[in-house]
């Protein structure tokens, strides 16, 4: 118990989304008949922690919103556009956090790999974060469509792991249900924002 107090918190969205203990989150897609697009994130007791609205809900291509269970917007994620974007082989996604006054500030940028690299299972995706203290580079390694990838920090430490529990896999034919293990002190809203962006990049539920 005493060790939990020494956990270093890494708030990217907010410290209120950091836990001093390892957390297991469960992701379930929204049924397509309900608003269309996005998914919900629950804890082990099936209590909703976050909701993710995709373009099927928002009606805007290349835009996602991570909401707290109470419906308040936590992170707005947009794919950067314009002439420079069109000429670049790397598309960029910008994540903005909302403060208590409703203003937005840039907190992370995810560099989408070229479409050909999206098919490669060992390719990596880079994420740069902007906090008041410092800038850091995170990386996604593995292959998201297989629900087999990790997010690592600048030192190479695993901060979150996406996978499918064997007992869940045995019960479900689809991959509508999978889990995210978030390490102690890591911002869960940031992790969910990254997952939401990966979901869109790979043409999954947030695109509907």
State how far the alpha carbon of 44 is from the alpha carbons of 10, 48, 112, 151, in Å. Answer: 23, 10, 31, 21
Give the three-state DSSP class for 113.
coil
- The average pLDDT across 166-179 equals 59
Of 56 and 153, which is predicted with more confidence?
A: 153
4 CB neighbour count, 10 Å cutoff: 11
Tell me 155's DSSP state: T
- Report the distance separating Cα 201 and Cα 58, nearest Å: 17
**Cβ distance 61 to 73 under 8 Å?**
no
What is residue 102's predicted lDDT score, i.e. its pLDDT?
A: 67
Band (124; pLDDT cuts 50, 70, 90):
confident
Q: How far apart are the first and last CA of the chain?
A: 44
More confident residue, 146 or 18: 18
pLDDT at 171: 46
Per-residue pLDDT band at 3 (split at 50, 70, 90): very low
- Phi/psi for 166 (5° steps) reads -60, -40
User: pLDDT digits over 70-109, tens only?
Assistant: 999 999 999 986 544 444 556 899 999 987 666 789 999 9
Band of the pLDDT at 2, cuts 50, 70, 90? very low
Please give the Cα distance from 96 to 104 (Å, whole number).
Answer: 6
Q: Is the pLDDT of residue 174 over 60?
A: no
Report domain 25-202's class. mainly beta
pLDDT tens track for 188-208: 999 999 999 998 988 777 776
Q: What is the pLDDT of residue 184?
A: 96
- Whole-angstrom distance, CA of residue 112 vs CA of residue 94: 11
| 130-157 average pLDDT score | 85
């Amino acid at each position: 118990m005493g060790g939990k107090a020494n956990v270093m918190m890494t708030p990217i969205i907010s410290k209120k989304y950091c836990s001093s203990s390892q957390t297991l989150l469960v992701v379930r897609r929204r049924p397509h008949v309900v608003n269309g697009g996005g998914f919900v994130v629950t804890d082990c007791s099936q209590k909703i922690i976050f909701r993710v609205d995709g373009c099927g809900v928002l009606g805007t291509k290349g835009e996602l919103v991570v909401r707290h269970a109470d419906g308040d917007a936590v992170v707005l994620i947009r794919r950067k556009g314009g002439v420079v974007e069109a000429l670049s082989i790397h598309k960029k996604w910008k994540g903005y956090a909302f403060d208590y006054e409703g203003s937005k500030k840039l907190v992370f940028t995810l560099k989408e790999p070229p479409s050909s690299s999206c098919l490669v299972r060992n390719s990596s995706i880079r994420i740069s974060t902007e906090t008041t203290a410092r800038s850091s580079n995170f990386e996604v390694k593995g292959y998201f469509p297989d629900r087999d990838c990790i997010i690592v920090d600048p030192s190479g430490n695993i901060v979150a792991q996406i996978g499918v529990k064997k007992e869940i896999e045995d019960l479900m034919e689809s991959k509508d249900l999978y889990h995210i293990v978030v390490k102690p002190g890591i911002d869960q809203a940031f992790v969910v924002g990254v997952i939401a962006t990966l979901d869109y990049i790979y043409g999954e539920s947030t695109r509907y």
